[in-house]
Amino acid sequence: MRPLSLGVLAGVLAWLVTGCGGGGENTVTVYAAASLSEAFEDLADEYEAANPDVDVRLNFAGSARLASQISAGARADVFASANGATMNRVAAEGITVAPPVVFARNRLALVVPVDNPGNVAELTDLSDDSLVLAACAPEVPCGALARAVLNDAGVEAEPDTEETSVRAVLTKVTLSEADAGLVYATDVAAGGGKVASVPLGPQIRFNDYPVAAISDRAVAADFVDFLLGPNGQGILWHHGFDSP
């Protein structure tokens, strides 16, 4: 017997946590990109208020990690990814029960600790090798977007630390373990008064966020409809996401 890979082990552990079939009849298990954390906490509260008999279970991580868990057998009901490429890999495996739909957009942002010890004033400053730059790993949506923006600007900057989720990058900056980090615009607000945003200039790129039902349970489709509806879109807008 071949040993289980790390991805399969992660999927098995996630399956044990969430249980068979994504949860009981009165639960909906949602796997969502880390950058959606605060928005989806509020979405879950709103959905539960409108559906008192339903419990929303949220699992946040980098989109690539969540996709690997789902591919390995984790029983999610809904998957919300931070980019189309990651969602397309899951859909290509025949795991989604309906075509993915874009429900929100986000854009890249450059953040620094609030006291800006590296004196970062613009994107080109990241070419300074003395700066500690944090970014997502290339396979993570925010990492792919960061590299595209740096390439567009002609900035030669290699991240000193590559993280598995955008929130891990934000944490590095809030703790002043990095002089700068490439995150999403919505993460600037999540950082509160611990980070400051540096303008990217014309180098602006957006990520589309797709969602799809993974299970054929009625509650999965209903949660997706709620996300796409006016109440769900209003909550996302409040957290800084753009409409698709």
Note whether 28 and 219 are within 8 A (CB). Answer: yes
Residue 153's H or E segment, with its range, is helix 141-153
DSSP string, 62-87: -HHHHHHHHHTT---SEEE-SSHHHH
Q: Tell me the CATH class for 106-206.
A: alpha beta
**Residues 156-190: pLDDT tens digits?**
999 999 999 999 999 999 999 999 999 999 988 88
* Residue-wise pLDDT tens digits, 79-136: 999 999 999 999 999 999 999 999 999 999 999 999 999 999 999 999 999 999 999 9
Q: Per CATH, the architecture of 6-105+208-238 is what? A: 3-Layer(aba) Sandwich (3.40)
Q: Where are the domains of the chain?
A: 6-105+208-238, 106-206
Question: Closest by alpha carbon to 169, among 82, 231, 101?
Answer: 82
Q: What is the DSSP string of 159-191?
A: -SEEESSHHHHHHHHHTTSSSEEEEEHHHHHHT
Domains 6-105+208-238 and 106-206 share a fold: yes
Helix axes 230-238, 218-228, angle to 10 degrees: 60
Strand 195-198 relative to strand 161-163, pairing = unpaired
Coil vs helix vs strand at 48: helix
pTM: 0.80
The one-letter amino acid at 65:
R
